């Protein structure tokens, strides 16, 4: 056995309260710890919601935890007790025998060092390579992970690479010393489906060639089902279920595992609402209380969802609602500097045309760099005008958003709002939630007094599922899903008519994602909101969107209903996007490699 974890428990000290030390248990609960094994040449996946203890468990292996962490239990790697290892011993182990690939490469790569300098560092430190030999090996590593023009990329800085290329650099660095164990912590989250597929296949191929083991951490069960040999399901710091991937996906025994599998939107069916973990578990308990529980039979809530699905399918054929936004031949060009004084145009969006109707959703899909986000931000005039010209029209309430003066645009901004992908970056950390919600009301002159604005803010907090106590807290006191709810509430306090949702749920785990998507559907039904829903996740787009635009190289290459796009794609590019989507357990990539 390569790695054996027994009775692992991790708690964090959070100061003192009334003279007593405060501790929060992150892994393990009371006397019960986390235990599992990773055999040689195998992939074990840790699965669970955000806050379940997945990453803390993984980082405990090589003690990459903050100073206030307390560990107990046993972690044995290749016969060595890592819990008793000194800092110097762990430093020799990290990168040499156990390597890590993290979720966000831009926070892991040094922005002031070139790719080559960062790749050479572990080769010098652990293998003793120098000069030309180290640089040649670095180039070989980039070629091995599929980096185009590897020699030229050695001189590039991280910001000059795409997200997928940055992740390839991280994988190359991790594999530089041919480790026995690779810890991959959400390595494909927020990547578009084709890049995600490439990274998954790359990891599977490298694992087979190097005969290394992998601990793969993810909340995306579709990805886990394709890469893992064994699955460990964790909730609230304890193992709920573990076993071969075929058993976990085909015959899940724990209600929590079944709930996780049920929360995920699928490509095959279009439902009106998504199941949420707690509701699914409660439904199973209710069904078990009334009759003998049959894991293969759907509970009553499942039947209700099926009925809702039928009504949703019929709803797409309802009478056409009025057009609220009409976009014609929209184009956006950026100037790219060449040399000291030269510049060249880059056409990020080319002649895009579509209509958005009240109470409906237009989904926009495509690979990274296809122009999805640029299209949305151009409509909202959120790009610096000096960065490059804009062409075409975007008519909203009789006004062209692209040519309207800044002064005339201000009241339009209240009616068109945006929710960004990362709620950690879009909320001001120095503002309380109350200040975050009240500030836009004051800017737009909504509410006769501060008290009235505060009341309005509290109403919207309740609508997005947060209690009034959140008003006086700061963003860091909330989970990612709660922060995204706050970001949505901030937009809705202004009574908008159009919301641009730019990858608004891509970084959320399946249960929180389901809650947020259901919330967006409910608000659309209640308020008649129109959404421009930008995403790389086609299953989520099918759940949310009435029609879909497929973008490639800045142009719309296919435009049809969500059902038509997914069931009868006309373009090879669209078929490739759909084919790249992870579909759960169908035989692992590792076995196919």
Residue 343's pLDDT band, with cuts at 50, 70 and 90, is confident
Q: How high is the pLDDT of residue 291?
A: 53
Torsion of the alpha carbons at 242, 516, 476 and 277, rounded to the nearest 10: -30
In sequence order, what E strands does 90-227 have?
A: 98-101, 181-185, 213-218
pLDDT level of residue 306 (50, 70, 90 thresholds): very low
136: nearest Cα among 148, 122, 119: 119
Distance between CA 203 and CA 182 in Å, rounded? 10
| Domains of the chain, start order | 3-251 (3.40.50.300), 362-380+410-579 (3.40.50.300)
- Reported as a single tens digit per residue, the pLDDT across 110-157 is 889 999 999 999 899 888 888 889 999 999 888 888 788 888 889 989
Q: What is the mean pLDDT of residues 426-435?
A: 91
Q: Is the pTM of this model over 0.85?
A: no
Alpha carbons 409 and 396: distance in angstroms, whole number: 11
Residue 242 neighbours by CB under 8 Å, 6+ apart: 36, 230, 231, 232, 233, 248
Mean of pLDDT values over 333-345: 81
Alpha-carbon span 561 to 550, nearest angstrom? 11
Quote the DSSP letter at residue 299. Answer: P
SS3 327: strand
Q: What percent of the chain has pLDDT over 70?
A: 91
- What value does the mean pLDDT of the chain take? 84
Local structure of 316: helix, strand or coil: coil
Q: Which two tokens stand for residue 47?
A: 């699965």
If we measure between CA atoms, which residue out of 500, 502, 518, 501 comes closest to residue 510? Answer: 518
> Token digits for 27?
């892994």
Structure tokens at 403: 């040519």
Query: How do residues 54-89 score in pLDDT, each as one tens digit?
Result: 889 999 998 988 888 999 999 999 999 999 899 889
Q: What is the DSSP string of 305-324?
A: HHHHHHHHHHHTTSPPPPEE
Predicted pLDDT at 310? 37
* Number of other CB atoms surrounding residue 342 within 10 Å: 9
Summarised one tens digit per residue, pLDDT across range 571-583 is: 999 998 888 777 6
């Amino acid at each position: 056995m390569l790695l054996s974890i027994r009775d692992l428990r991790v708690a964090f000290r959070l100061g003192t309260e009334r003279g007593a030390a405060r501790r929060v248990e992150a892994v393990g609960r009371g006397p019960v710890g986390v235990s599992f094994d990773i055999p040689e040449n195998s992939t074990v996946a840790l699965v669970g919601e955000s806050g379940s203890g997945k990453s803390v468990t993984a980082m405990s292996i090589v003690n990459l935890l903050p100073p206030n962490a307390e560990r107990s239990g046993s972690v044995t790697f290749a016969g060595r007790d890592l819990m008793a290892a000194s800092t110097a011993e762990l430093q020799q182990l990290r990168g040499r025998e156990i390597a890590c690939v993290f979720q966000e490469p831009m926070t892991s790569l040094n922005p002031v060092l070139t790719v080559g300098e960062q790749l050479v560092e572990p080769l010098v430190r652990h293998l003793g390579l120098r000069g030309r030999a180290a640089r040649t090996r670095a180039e070989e590593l980039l070629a091995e992970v599929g980096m185009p023009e590897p020699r030229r990329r050695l001189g590039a800085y991280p910001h000059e690479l795409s997200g997928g290329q940055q992740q390839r650099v991280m994988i190359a660095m991790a594999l530089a010393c041919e480790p026995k164990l690779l810890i991959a912590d959400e390595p494909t989250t927020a990547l578009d489906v084709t890049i995600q597929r490439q990274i998954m296949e790359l990891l599977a191929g490298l694992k087979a060639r190097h005969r290394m083991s992998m601990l793969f951490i993810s909340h995306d069960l579709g990805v886990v089902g394709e890469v893992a040999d064994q699955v460990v399901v964790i909730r609230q710091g304890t193992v709920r279920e573990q076993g071969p991937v075929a058993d976990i996906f085909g015959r899940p025994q724990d209600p929590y595992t079944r709930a996780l599998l049920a929360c995920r939107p699928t490509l095959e069916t279009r439902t009106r609402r998504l199941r949420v973990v707690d509701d699914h578990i409660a439904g199973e308990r209710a069904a078990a209380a009334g009759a003998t529980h049959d894991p293969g039979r759907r509970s009553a809530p499942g039947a209700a969802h099926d009925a809702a699905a039928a009504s949703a399918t019929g709803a797409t054929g309802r009478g056409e609602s009025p057009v609220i936004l009409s976009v014609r031949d929209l184009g956006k060009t950026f100037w790219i500097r060449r040399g000291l004084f030269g510049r060249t145009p880059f056409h990020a969006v080319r002649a895009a045309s579509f209509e958005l109707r009240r109470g409906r959703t237009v989904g926009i899909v495509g690979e990274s760099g296809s122009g999805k986000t640029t299209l949305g931000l151009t409509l909202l005039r959120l790009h610096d005008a000096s960065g490059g010209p804009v062409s075409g029209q975007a008519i909203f309430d009789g006004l062209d958003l692209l040519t309207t003066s800044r002064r005339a645009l201000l009241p339009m901004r209240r009616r068109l709002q945006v929710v960004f992908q990362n709620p950690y970056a879009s909320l001001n950390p120095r503002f309380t939630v109350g200040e975050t919600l009240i500030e836009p009301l004051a800017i737009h002159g909504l509410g006769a007094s501060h008290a009235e604005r505060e009341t309005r803010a509290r109403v919207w907090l309740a609508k997005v599922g947060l209690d009034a106590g959140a008003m006086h807290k700061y963003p860091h006191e909330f989970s990612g899903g709660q922060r995204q709810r706050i970001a949505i509430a901030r937009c809705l306090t202004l009574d908008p008519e159009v919301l641009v949702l730019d990858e608004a749920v891509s970084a959320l785990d399946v249960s929180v994602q389901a809650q947020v998507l259901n919330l967006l559907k409910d608000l659309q039904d209640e308020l008649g909101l129109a959404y421009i829903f930008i995403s790389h996740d086609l299953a989520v787009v099918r759940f949310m969107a009435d029609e879909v635009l497929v973008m490639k190289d800045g142009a719309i290459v296919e435009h049809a209903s969500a059902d038509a796009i997914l069931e009868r794609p006309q373009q090879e590019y669209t078929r490739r996007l759909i084919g790249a989507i992870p579909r759960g357990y169908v035989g692992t990539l590792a076995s196919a490699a």
